Amino acid sequence: MKHSPLFCPKCGKRNEATCTHCSACGAPLAIEQKQPAYSSVTLNNPRTKGRDSSSLSHQRIRRRNEISLQADAVVDRRKMLWLTGATTFGAGMSLLTFGALCSQVAPAVNSWVHDLKNPSQSPLYDIVGLKSPVYGIAWSPDGKHIISAENNSTVTLVDTFHDPDAPNKTYFGPSDTYLDHSGPVYDVAWSPDGTRVAWAGHDKIVVVLSVYDGVPTYNRNSILTYGGHNAAVHAVAWSPDGTRIVSASSDGTIHIWNAQTGKTLLTKNQEGEILAVAWAPFPRGEHIASGGTHKAVHIWDTTDGHIINTYQKHTGTIFNLAWSSGGSPYIASASADGTVQVWDAYDKHADKKNILTYTGHRDAVHSVTWSPDGNSIASGSTDGTVHIWSTKNPMKESSTSLYQVGSAVNVVAWSPDGSYIASGSDDKIMNIWKAPKS
């Protein structure tokens, strides 16, 4: 789960959707935007317009190819900062503008070098075509695509582009948008094999789409909507083998369901509202971590739902959880108490003596992500910064990178190859940072 209008970004207290400030601490709250950001998405959605979904699938593929060709042409010319792709759908015209920043064009703007001791440096790329706060980000397994979940009911696909004259340089830009929810979208996740993507939202549903050539695509057999929850769904994750999905909700339940049929396989009740869930990678692929407003993190078995361990050292709402890669038993938990805590999921005394507690942020921590090699962690906070720190010496200045965003950071995600970190924030921008070498 990422920062939600229902929860205070500072103290974690739930507020009514109509509130502009937290009733407990007075901190400002994000306000839902009822108007869709891209009207073209409604035209493209076969469920809302009743159009033939197989033809729409081909239209989406053509649209992506047209945008990619324009991107290659602009990057090759090295003369334009902004790319504009326009495609006609029936009687309507959609206009998608996105930034692919070229270092050859404006060295003063985007030839950025990150100073590890300077928190004011800029990211490599700003994805600025978004219309509302970004709550969720997920990289495709091959690292070629990024999906973002946003407050205005929109999901945006970001592609990577390459300059033929400089094949080692990578550029990023939005290439498509989706509108399958009637409210904010809180989380998004790719299947392990990259063939499907799932996103969850305030409207109590999870949508699963098939992926063709890196693009979530509408066709007769691609759409699955899971509606088993009775309140907003804040987090979603795939099983390591891609056969099941776990979803966590404000209704106090966690559901495990078949990713092909949508059949509920297991329902787990937990105290408070569930805002975070993470499925353990192999070889612990039957275990899940979950947390929320109750401040505790539970580790439990997906086969029968029994609790394996409970971690209770946090003093604030749990916003995000992440397992370390490579079969490690370690979990990083991000909380409203302003800390990221790393602990052994199977140590019964972990809450009395965890592995480490990172206290570098000045406010609530909304998101946490591990580097692929497990040596570093990136965390995003309401204080407007992204911190990247070593798990060996987390509070040592020389081992910590501080990146200033300027508004509350709701999500951070490390690319599969370890080269980049993407962050989403309340300022309606997705930032892509060059990850420091661990």
**How much is the average pLDDT of 172-193?**
81
pLDDT score recorded for residue 316:
97
Does 87 or 271 have the greater pLDDT score?
A: 271
pLDDT score recorded for residue 38:
24
- pLDDT(296) > 60: yes
**How much is the average pLDDT of 275-295?**
94
What share of the chain in percent tops pLDDT 70? 66
pLDDT score recorded for residue 16:
64
**pLDDT confidence bin for 397, thresholds 50/70/90:** low
pLDDT score recorded for residue 310:
96
Q: Which two tokens stand for residue 100?
A: 């692919």
pLDDT score recorded for residue 71:
33
pLDDT score recorded for residue 77:
24
**pLDDT confidence bin for 42, thresholds 50/70/90:** very low
E strand or H helix that includes residue 175 = strand 166-178
For the ranges 33-37, 264-268, 389-393, the maximum mean pLDDT occurs at: 264-268
CATH 3.40.50.300 fits 39-434, yes or no: no
Helices (H), 252-337: none
Q: Which two tokens stand for residue 175?
A: 């290439």
pLDDT score recorded for residue 103:
25
pLDDT score recorded for residue 436:
86
pLDDT score recorded for residue 242:
95
- pLDDT(245) > 90: yes
Apex 101 CA angle, 95 and 106, nearest 5: 130
E strand or H helix that includes residue 96 = strand 92-99
**pLDDT confidence bin for 171, thresholds 50/70/90:** low
**pLDDT confidence bin for 183, thresholds 50/70/90:** confident
Q: Which two tokens stand for residue 28?
A: 């400002």
In the 8-state DSSP scheme, what is residue 429?
Answer: -
pLDDT score recorded for residue 138:
96
CA–CA gap between residue 407 and residue 245 (Å, rounded): 32
Query: Other CB atoms closer than 10 Å to residue 203's CB: what's the count?
Result: 17
What is the chain's mean pLDDT, rounded? 75
pLDDT score recorded for residue 404:
85
**How much is the average pLDDT of 334-351?**
96
**pLDDT confidence bin for 73, thresholds 50/70/90:** very low
- pLDDT(51) > 70: no
Are 5 and 151 spatial neighbours (Cβ–Cβ below 8 Å)? yes
The helix/strand count (H/E) of the chain reads as 4, 31
**pLDDT confidence bin for 127, thresholds 50/70/90:** confident
In the 8-state DSSP scheme, what is residue 363?
Answer: S
137-141, 210-214, 237-241, 433-437: least confident range: 210-214
**How much is the average pLDDT of 101-113?**
24
**pLDDT confidence bin for 266, thresholds 50/70/90:** very high
**How much is the average pLDDT of 367-395?**
91
Does 108 or 336 have the greater pLDDT score?
A: 336
**pLDDT confidence bin for 297, thresholds 50/70/90:** very high
- pLDDT(165) > 60: yes
pLDDT score recorded for residue 287:
95
Does 225 or 52 have the greater pLDDT score?
A: 225
Are 289 and 314 spatial neighbours (Cβ–Cβ below 8 Å)? no
Spell out the long-range contacts of 347-353 with Cβ–Cβ below 8 A and sequence spacing 24 or more.
347/309, 348/309, 350/309, 350/311, 350/313, 351/310, 351/311, 351/312, 351/313, 352/313
Per domain, the residue ranges of the chain are 39-434
CA–CA gap between residue 313 and residue 353 (Å, rounded): 9
**How much is the average pLDDT of 149-167?**
76
Nearest to 379 by CA among 300, 315, 320, 297: 320
Nearest to 345 by CA among 358, 356, 332, 334: 332
Does 6 or 213 have the greater pLDDT score?
A: 213
pLDDT score recorded for residue 222:
64
**pLDDT confidence bin for 426, thresholds 50/70/90:** very high
pLDDT score recorded for residue 359:
94
Q: Residues near 12 by Cβ (< 8 Å), separated by ≥ 6? A: 293, 316, 317, 319, 335, 336, 364
